[in-house]
Structure 1
């Protein structure tokens, strides 16, 4: 197992094998390396190919291939896996709005948010763009819990003054803006420089907001420079609804653009059914896209054409979209991104398929760029912050492999005391080990998680 050598109380050297995405198509694998992290959680040196270091590594520390989660509804966590046979609009009314409205109860909100954050951290998510509810107090509580737990988070109060149940919507555009300002002010009071917690302006999606509210949110973004998040073209019925509600706009993307919301700091979730002109507009405005493959499949919304988006120059990251998505694991999002691309390829040709390297990039550097943190997280480089997870892979005992004519290399592995679902026989290349983790791994492989140098999760 990689060792840590304390130089002082707050400075640490991590020793082991480190893997991160160098480019969209290339993994950088650093065997027998050492990374120094200072008291501020920043990487100050990276040494490669050190001799006689980590001769019995069971867990391979690499840059967290599941951060950040660029789209997750913390308020929906109790419903993860519950969607029945519904599609998006039915699902909202049947499952989502009733649950979210119940989080006006601050004690219930505390239980839900605490568990959600604990679970995402245990799955290696160091950074998350969270949707909360319309309630100011419970949204502020989510920010408090994230700060206490040490998870980097973007926390958004949902704005919706239209087409939502009477029991769960904003009274007016004015009250929605006032309540959103209250959450921004609260986050500023607990983390003045937004070092860990950042407010994020959150119009739920265009149909749930009147034009005056969308305009006011665009003005709020302009005056505060706070980032934004919303949904776009997730479901065909939703796209048709937008056409009816905003007949003066030529497209869903233009609705956001004309209201001052399509900017480089906007995260658009889904983007399954956008047109070529919408894609070009999104690229021109440098807005970002959160691809949510598990949710898109679970709610039968469709298969996003990620290769088409990437080839156009749009920045894409991954989101779990709990609870439309059934799992809070970003590794599952990585896995499903690979599989969904293969389904798209069955219609569009093999060029649509995403490689292991590419889906890991979407879950790391791509996601970091989506949330505007590409200069802070996403890789093991000097000046970057130490956001990492320690991955444990199980070496099959030598006696078992001998029965199958196999041989083991003991130079890099030993048996893990916390056996996960990924079996390593010793002859696999590093690329093959990573692929086995992507397709077979889960939270049992995540032994430790750090955010900005702070240990925030350790598997017992």
Structure 2
């Protein structure tokens, strides 16, 4: 299972261009650098290549141990998918014709109810882990189903392929429309605890259990209370959904009339902690965002799903201004693509739509449309527009890149382990080759390296992902890749 080796001998080195994020900079492009990775998968040094001779002496490696990247190649941190439903992968790219609650009843619950079958689960879970790894996802936060055994199988598959993962057995004791897909309250609590215990006993290095109430609509108050207690007892992470769609929010208000708001439902039941990641959050109020910040809880921004199911738009700029942790999630299958590159693009698109709405609102009546954090203007419209542009800006591709890497690791509270190329962290990385034969874009002689990185983020796909590493171990190309 988990290696206990404490050796820090440098196993191999990379030399070339590295692209990553820091807390101070959304993107750093570091040319002509050299990185050493130890046999236990950690980054031992990361310096300019001018220091190579001294590094060779200090770390006792030979020039033959250095892997020199090609001219246009670069290493970037592995991407972190903070919200993905592994059990919905089989119908991703289809069934996007209904709003959230109807979509769950017609497509999702009937599909997930089939996962009692181990062979079916093994087939689909193997495919989703392989597909996400090929697309550069080194860490995935998975929803499975209500079935313990097949949820443990997903954890085993992620471990065997070398992916870093959080796996959640879904808990839900309310389902008014698909009655054969729910649990009893006591049964859900008992099975969830068994799932946590059995997964922890396997001692997988990088695959951990995560307490997973589906969302407040499908959970009784008692179930939420008990799941909060379990998370506290075992010190596990927590994941769920919040404020995704209007119909969902109305139902939560009706089901939990004694709570101040949606976030309060989770908070009062010990489910809003610094190990919590909540998907969507499109309609969170300033008060709720402040609660998230106080608790250290995070949001998984799932723009593809929000658009596909016509649920809403999350204002990432507002979340960042509230200093709430935020990462990106594909949200397969509400999100049609398992690619985090696609999610990066949809995140930028959503932010630009919100910028247009803000600008349009100013042109129409001199006030903001949907942004309570922007003060109502008192000047003429032409002057107001200038101030509006200063106060609100769409997120940049560099910021979206950080959300997909370091931001995701912060959202999952593992940024001490992964997320960028800081010395001491584990080497989770994607080796990008922009000039592959028959690739999705071209590189021209006058392109700067920043141009090349932009082209990959806007146009690239898995054909450009040459190799993937998790904790120093190469996991792509995949074994027996078809």
Do both share a fold (TM > 0.5)?
yes
Q: Number of aligned pairs?
A: 426
- 1:362 is matched with 403
2:305 and 2:50 mapped to 1: Cα distance? 43
Any residues of structure 2 matched to 1:139-288 within 5 Å, and which? 139-164=151-176, 165-171=178-184, 173-191=185-203, 195-288=205-298
Q: Relative to structure 1, is the Cα distance of residues 335 and 25 closer, same or farther in structure 2, using a 3 angstrom cutoff? A: farther
- Output one character per residue of 1:182-208: Cα deviation in whole Å (capped at 9) or x when no partner: 1111211222xx521110000000010
Which SS does the other structure have where 1:18 is aligned? strand
Q: Is residue 436 from structure 1 mapped to residue 477 from structure 2 by the alignment? A: no
Q: Is residue 44 from structure 1 mapped to residue 48 from structure 2 by the alignment? A: no
Moved more, 209-218 or 419-428: 419-428
2:246 and 2:393 mapped to 1: Cα distance? 22
**Shift of residue 40, structure 1, vs aligned partner:** 0.6
Any residues of structure 2 matched to 1:40-79 within 5 Å, and which? 40-50=40-50, 54=68, 56-64=70-78, 67-79=79-91
Q: Relative to structure 1, is the Cα distance of residues 340 and 457 closer, same or farther in structure 2, using a 3 angstrom cutoff? A: same
Decide whether the 8 Å contact of 1:83 with 1:299 is kept in 2: no
**Shift of residue 62, structure 1, vs aligned partner:** 2.2
- 1:82 is matched with 94
- 2:428 is matched with 387
Q: Relative to structure 1, is the Cα distance of residues 112 and 212 closer, same or farther in structure 2, using a 3 angstrom cutoff? A: same
1:352 and 1:180 mapped to 2: Cα distance? 43
Any residues of structure 2 matched to 1:276-315 within 5 Å, and which? 276-315=286-325
- 2:335 is matched with 325
1:158 and 1:87 mapped to 2: Cα distance? 21
Q: Is residue 33 from structure 1 mapped to residue 33 from structure 2 by the alignment? A: yes
Decide whether the 8 Å contact of 2:15 with 2:69 is kept in 1: no
1:27 and 1:155 mapped to 2: Cα distance? 30
1:337 and 1:55 mapped to 2: Cα distance? 30
Computed over aligned residues only, the root mean square deviation of the Cα atoms, in angstroms, reads 1.8
Decide whether the 8 Å contact of 1:393 with 1:419 is kept in 2: no
Decide whether the 8 Å contact of 2:27 with 2:399 is kept in 1: no
Q: Relative to structure 1, is the Cα distance of residues 300 and 121 closer, same or farther in structure 2, using a 3 angstrom cutoff? A: same
Which SS does the other structure have where 1:424 is aligned? coil
- 2:12 is matched with 12
2:181 and 2:32 mapped to 1: Cα distance? 55
**Shift of residue 381, structure 1, vs aligned partner:** 1.7
Work out which of the residue numbers 113, 133, 149 in structure 2 matches 1:137: 149
Which SS does the other structure have where 1:256 is aligned? helix
Any residues of structure 2 matched to 1:384-423 within 5 Å, and which? 384-394=425-435, 416=436, 418-423=437-442
Which SS does the other structure have where 2:105 is aligned? helix
Tell me the TM-score normalised to structure 1 length.
Answer: 0.89
2:191 and 2:418 mapped to 1: Cα distance? 31
2:45 and 2:305 mapped to 1: Cα distance? 39
Decide whether the 8 Å contact of 1:32 with 1:51 is kept in 2: no
Decide whether the 8 Å contact of 1:130 with 1:153 is kept in 2: yes
- 2:381 is matched with none
Q: Relative to structure 1, is the Cα distance of residues 54 and 427 closer, same or farther in structure 2, using a 3 angstrom cutoff? A: farther
1:10 and 1:96 mapped to 2: Cα distance? 47
- Give the unaligned 5+ runs of structure 2: 1-7, 53-66, 360-388
Decide whether the 8 Å contact of 2:280 with 2:300 is kept in 1: yes
Q: Relative to structure 1, is the Cα distance of residues 56 and 96 closer, same or farther in structure 2, using a 3 angstrom cutoff? A: closer
- Output one character per residue of 1:84-137: Cα deviation in whole Å (capped at 9) or x when no partner: 320100100111001111011100000000000000000000000000000011
- 1:353 is matched with 394
**Shift of residue 48, structure 1, vs aligned partner:** 1.3
Decide whether the 8 Å contact of 1:389 with 1:448 is kept in 2: yes
Decide whether the 8 Å contact of 1:32 with 1:54 is kept in 2: no
- 2:104 is matched with 92
Tell me the TM-score normalised to structure 2 length.
Answer: 0.85
2:72 and 2:399 mapped to 1: Cα distance? 26
Which SS does the other structure have where 2:323 is aligned? coil
Decide whether the 8 Å contact of 2:10 with 2:44 is kept in 1: no
Segments ≥4 residues shifted beyond 3 Å? 23-26, 49-56
Decide whether the 8 Å contact of 1:16 with 1:34 is kept in 2: yes
Which SS does the other structure have where 1:201 is aligned? strand
1:431 and 1:101 mapped to 2: Cα distance? 47
Which SS does the other structure have where 1:35 is aligned? strand
- 1:446 is matched with 465
Which SS does the other structure have where 2:109 is aligned? helix
Moved more, 347-356 or 199-208: 347-356
**Shift of residue 264, structure 1, vs aligned partner:** 1.1
Work out which of the residue numbers 118, 125, 129 in structure 2 matches 1:117: 129
2:120 and 2:319 mapped to 1: Cα distance? 39
**Shift of residue 54, structure 1, vs aligned partner:** 4.3
Decide whether the 8 Å contact of 2:148 with 2:191 is kept in 1: yes
**Shift of residue 433, structure 1, vs aligned partner:** 1.4
